[in-house]
Amino acid sequence: MLTVKAYAAHDATSPLTPFSLCRRDPGPRDVRIQILYCGVCHSDLHQARNEWNGTVYPCVPGHEIIGRVVQTGGDVAKFSEGDIAAVGCMVDSCGTCPSCRDGEEQFCEQGPVFTYNSEDKYSGGMTFGGYSQSIVVDESFVLRVPDHLDHAAAAPLLCAGITTYSPLRRWKVGKGQKVGVVGLGGLGHMAVKFADALGARVVLFTTSPSKTSDAIRLGAEEVVISKHPEELKKHLNSFDFILDTVSAQHDINAYLALLKRNGTLTLVGAPSQQLPLTPFNLIFGRHQLAGSLIGGIRETQEMLEFCGEHNITSDIELIAIHQINEAYERLLRSDVKYRFVIDMASLQ
Ligand code: NAP
Ligand code: ZN
pLDDT in tens, 111-148: 999 999 999 999 899 999 999 999 999 999 999 999 99
Give the residue extent of every domain in the chain: 2-159+295-346, 162-291
CA neighbor of 128 nearest in space, from 20, 43, 216: 20
Q: Tell me the ligand closest to 47's alpha carbon.
A: 1
- How far apart CA 204 and CA 222 sit, in angstroms, is 6
pLDDT at 10 over 90: yes
Residue 183's pLDDT band (cuts 50, 70, 90): very high
**5: confidence class by pLDDT, cuts 50, 70, 90:** very high
Q: Tell me if 325 sits within 8 A of 15, measured CB to CB.
A: yes
41 φ/ψ angles, rounded to the nearest 5 degrees: -95, 150
Q: Ligand 1 within 6 A of 43 CB?
A: yes
Q: Say which CATH class 2-159+295-346 falls into.
A: alpha beta
Q: Is 269 in the pocket of ligand 1 (CB under 6 A)?
A: yes
Which superfamily does 162-291 belong to?
A: NAD(P)-binding Rossmann-like Domain (3.40.50.720)
Is the minimum distance from the CB of 154 to ligand 1 under 6 angstroms? Answer: no
Q: Is 344 in the pocket of ligand 1 (CB under 6 A)?
A: no
In sequence order, the 6+-apart residues with CB closer than 8 A to the CB of 42 are 185, 186, 187, 247, 331
Give 49 Cα–ligand 1 centroid separation in angstroms: 16
Q: Which atom of ligand 1 is nearest to the CA of 292?
A: 41
Q: Say which DSSP state 105 is in.
A: G
> Mean pLDDT across the stretch 208-221?
98
Q: Which ligand sits nearest to residue 46's alpha carbon?
A: 1
* Model confidence band, residue 315 (pLDDT cutoffs 50, 70, 90): very high
The distance of Cα 143 from the centroid of its chain, to the nearest Å, equals 15
Q: Is the CB of 330 under 6 A from ligand 1?
A: no
Ligand 1 closest atom vs CA 338? 2
Atom 22 of ligand 1: nearest residue by CA position: 246
Shortest-distance ligand to the CA of residue 295 = 1
Q: Is the dihedral of CA 298, 291, 43, 59 positive or negative?
A: negative
Give 269 Cα–ligand 1 centroid separation in angstroms.
Answer: 5
Predicted structure pTM score: 0.98
61 lines ligand 1 (CB under 6 A): no
Average pLDDT of the chain is: 98
pLDDT of residue 61: 98
Amino acid letter, 55: T
Question: Rounded mean pLDDT of 265-280?
Answer: 97
Residue 348 pLDDT greater than 90, yes or no: no
Q: Give the pLDDT mean for 185-209.
A: 98
